[in-house]
């Protein structure tokens, strides 16, 4: 089932937990699968161009907790389960390193949804297992040409929670391939000498002081990690298309762990990471604000 938030400017289409995507990587709550502006411009696309694989791959605005290692994985013995926030308890089958591409067997958490005129709230509850327990509350709120995603994560178990969260923004304006009509701008300088990993086949991506552009359509994935090159207390990105004269932005006013950029022929994804460290009984709150606009 698809939940809809809409006003005279924007329409957000949001999946119910497990109704479309049922994989073990992305948080099942608050998955925004399409953003429609002025009834004609749309912004979301799929991770894979094969629609038959949507139940296992990313689409639209999908967030993820613990891409490098979910909480409880390292000391989880094979045959036991570890928690993946927003999804459920996953079965660890072997001592192999955690692989976010692998589709682990899932025992889903408990989910509930509350709908209001301008918002939808998702609650994910993890009952205690191996001394882990938590509750995640995610609220998506629409206002004019903006929407916010507000998270509250509370540690209700007996063990620390140390992880991170980011939104994998699968974006392509009106389905247009990534090309020289796009520009991706940032609120901070891009210093390539401070980047982490860089993958730029055929040098298709041009990097300037505060923005990147493309010489043409990439024929393979590109990736840049830690493009913030230092500590930031807030950050924003802006993806714009010169032909369609529209853009979308994300702004975050929290300490930024890192910012990555990933994309390929049909999609680009800027990703702002939030670090989470919770003792038993503690909770944390963070928010992401998106804006859709005309150029």
Mean pLDDT value of segment 131-141:
98
| pLDDT tens digits, one per residue of 40-96 | 999 999 999 898 999 999 999 999 999 998 999 999 999 999 999 999 999 999 999
| pLDDT at site 146 | 98
Give the three-state DSSP class for 45: coil
Say which residues have a Cβ less than 8 Å from residue 183's Cβ, sequence separation at least 6: 211, 212, 213, 239, 240, 242
How far lies 76's CA from each of 96, 106, 125, 290, in Å? 11, 15, 20, 37
Q: What is 2-294's CATH number, 3.40.50.970, 3.40.190.10, 1.20.1440.230, 2.70.98.10?
A: 2.70.98.10
Pairwise pLDDT comparison (116 vs 1), residue with the higher score? 116
| pLDDT at site 188 | 97
| pLDDT tens digits, one per residue of 184-224 | 999 999 999 999 999 999 999 999 999 999 999 999 999 99
| pLDDT tens digits, one per residue of 144-163 | 999 999 999 999 999 999 99
Q: What percent of the chain has pLDDT over 70?
A: 100
Q: Give 266's Cβ-side CA count (13 Å radius).
A: 11
* Domain-wise residue ranges, the chain: 2-294
Mean pLDDT across the chain: 97
Q: What is the pTM of this model?
A: 0.97
């Amino acid at each position: 089932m698809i939940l809809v938030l809409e006003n005279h400017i924007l329409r957000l289409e949001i999946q119910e937990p497990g109704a479309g995507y049922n994989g073990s990587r992305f948080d099942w709550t608050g998955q925004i699968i399409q953003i429609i502006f002025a009834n004609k411009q749309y912004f979301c696309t799929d991770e894979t161009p094969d629609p038959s694989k949507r139940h296992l791959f990313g689409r639209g605005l999908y967030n993820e907790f613990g891409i490098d290692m979910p909480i409880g994985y390292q000391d989880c013995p094979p045959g036991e389960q570890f928690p993946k926030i927003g999804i459920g308890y996953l079965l660890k089958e072997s001592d192999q390193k955690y692989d976010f591409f692998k589709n682990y067997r899932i025992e889903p958490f408990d989910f509930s949804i509350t709908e209001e005129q301008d918002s939808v709230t998702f609650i994910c509850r993890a009952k205690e297992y191996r001394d882990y327990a938590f509750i995640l509350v995610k609220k998506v709120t629409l206002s004019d040409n903006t929407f916010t995603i507000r998270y509250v994560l509370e540690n209700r178990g007996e063990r620390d929670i140390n992880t991170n969260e980011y939104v994998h923004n699968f974006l392509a304006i009106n389905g247009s391939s990534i090309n020289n009509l796009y520009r991706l701008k940032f609120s901070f300088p891009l210093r390539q000498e401070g980047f982490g990993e860089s993958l730029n086949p055929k040098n298709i991506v041009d990097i300037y002081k505060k923005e990147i552009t493309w010489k043409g359509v990439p024929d393979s994935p590109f990736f840049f990690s830690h493009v913030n090159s230092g500590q930031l207390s807030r950050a924003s990105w802006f993806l714009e298309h010169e032909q369609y004269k529209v853009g979308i932005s994300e702004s975050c006013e929290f300490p930024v762990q890192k910012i990555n950029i990933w994309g390929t022929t049909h999609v680009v994804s800027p990703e702002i990471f939030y670090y989470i460290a919770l003792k038993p009984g503690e909770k944390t709150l963070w928010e992401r604000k998106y804006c859709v606009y005309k150029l």
